[in-house]
């Protein structure tokens, strides 16, 4: 049993962060006030963690400690998300990429490894395609960007908008439970954190901007195709799960097959947040890959 679960089942973000030396702060990314969680020494290789749509840096609270031993780790709230600024208008992938690059420039990071979940994986992949000189290694974790399933898109949009239009405990919890294979992994701290974020003034309009990629016309002009994935030069790992709600394992394998030399692995018993649901397994696979070590669970495709 993971050590962040008490005998009576109580889970806390502070238990997740127990023993972690980290800071929370804000930086000015060329006019965009950007919130971050930082762990690790700044003289170590940089690692940037990117959350999914409607999410925030807390997606990675169970991964900071394991990665900070080896990396200079930055988990950020992407533009329009979390406690970062939320400019008006629809957000497309190029805007997310531009924001991440501005964060890197502000921090003086010339090159970093990236791990991205869902939307974060889509952004990280596009960044690796267009700016290969800025990417050391790449992990695409149940990443978006390779397909446009109208049923999944509508479900994600409806759950996400309901959660900000009426940020009740019930609706916020339902949105988070959609991410998990084991619904009990959604703890009170996580719900309360997202509830506070979603209750911010202007969040309804911001979420509409975040949901733009769930509109078919916008999605199609941002989607990544085989020729795009084929341009990725960084060593890549595509990590999928047995119970991902956005696409089955075959889609993850297809994504990996389009990236030259990519590794592919599947985590059992997890949904869209394997880094949270089974942090021990994720951290082992993830750290090994980022350090260039053998990943027994992964295979080439």
What is the C-alpha to C-alpha distance for residues 247 and 214, in angstroms, rounded to an integer? 15
pLDDT tens profile 143-179: 999 999 999 999 999 999 999 999 999 999 999 999 9
Q: Which residue has the higher pLDDT, 165 or 13?
A: 165
- Per-residue pLDDT reduced to its tens digit, 185-225: 999 999 999 999 999 999 999 999 999 999 999 999 999 99
pLDDT band at 1; cut points 50, 70, 90: very low
The values of phi and psi at residue 287, to 5°, are -65, -45
**Mean pLDDT across 99-109:** 98
Contact 261, 229 (CB under 8 A): no
CB 287 within 8 A of CB 66: yes
DSSP 245: S
3-state SS, residue 55: coil
Dihedral (CA of 292, 295, 298, 301) sign? positive
Over range 271-290, report the average pLDDT.
97
Q: If 0-12 CB within 10 Å is exposed, 13-18 middle and 19+ buried, where does residue 257 land?
A: middle
Tally of CA atoms within 13 A in the half-sphere of 15 that contains its CB: 13
pLDDT tens, residue by residue, 106-127:
999 999 999 999 999 999 999 9
pLDDT at 38 over 60: yes
Residues 8-25: what's their mean pLDDT? 85
pLDDT, position 185 = 93
The proportion of the chain whose per-residue pLDDT surpasses 90, expressed as a percent, equals 91
Residue 53 CA, distance from chain mean position: 8
**Cα–Cα distance, 237 to 300 (Å, whole number):** 9
Instruction: Report whether 120 contacts 56 (CB < 8 A).
Output: no
Vertex 81: Cα angle to 53 and 28 (nearest 5): 135
Q: Tell whether the model's pLDDT for residue 95 goes beyond 60.
A: yes
> Taking a C-beta distance cutoff of 8 angstroms, is the pair 214, 154 a contact?
yes
Strand blocks (E) in 77-220: 112-117, 135-141
For residue 17, is pLDDT > 60?
A: yes
- Residue 4 pLDDT > 60, yes or no? no
In Å, how far are 27, 114, 168, 266 from 198, measured between CA atoms? Answer: 21, 26, 10, 32
Contact between residue 134 and residue 101 where contact means Cβ atoms under 8 Å apart: yes
- Tokens at 249, concatenated: 């394992």
pLDDT given for residue 8 in this prediction: 54
CA 139 to CA 120: how far, in whole Å? Answer: 10
């Amino acid at each position: 049993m993971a050590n962040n679960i008490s005998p009576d089942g109580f889970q806390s973000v502070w238990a997740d962060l127990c023993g972690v030396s980290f800071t929370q702060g804000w930086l000015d990314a060329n006019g965009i006030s950007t919130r971050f969680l930082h762990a690790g020494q700044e003289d170590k290789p940089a690692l940037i963690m990117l959350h999914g749509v409607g999410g925030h840096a807390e997606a990675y609270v169970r991964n900071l400690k394991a990665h900070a031993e080896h990396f200079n780790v930055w988990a950020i709230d992407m533009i329009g998300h979390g406690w970062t600024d939320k400019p008006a208008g629809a957000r497309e992938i190029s805007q997310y990429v531009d924001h991440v690059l501005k964060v890197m420039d502000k921090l003086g990071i010339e090159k970093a490894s990236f791990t991205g979940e869902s939307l974060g994986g889509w952004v990280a992949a596009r960044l690796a395609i267009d700016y290969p000189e800025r990417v050391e290694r790449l992990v695409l974790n149940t990443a978006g960007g390779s397909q446009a399933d109208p049923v999944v898109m509508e479900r994600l949009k409806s759950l996400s908008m309901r959660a900000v239009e009426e940020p009740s405990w019930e609706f916020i919890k339902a949105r988070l439970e959609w991410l998990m294979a084991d619904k009990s992994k959604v703890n009170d701290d996580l719900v309360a954190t997202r509830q506070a974020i979603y209750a911010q003034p202007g969040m309804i309009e911001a979420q509409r901007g975040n949901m733009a990629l769930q509109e078919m016309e916008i999605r199609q002009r941002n989607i990544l195709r085989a020729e795009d994935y084929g341009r990725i030069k960084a060593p890549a790992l595509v990590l999928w799960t047995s119970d991902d709600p956005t696409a089955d394992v075959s889609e993850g394998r297809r994504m990996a097959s389009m990236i030259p030399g990519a590794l592919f692995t599947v985590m059992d018993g997890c949904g869209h947040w394997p880094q949270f649901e089974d942090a021990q397994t994720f951290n082992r696979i993830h750290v090994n890959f980022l350090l260039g070590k053998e990943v027994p669970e992964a295979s080439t495709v």
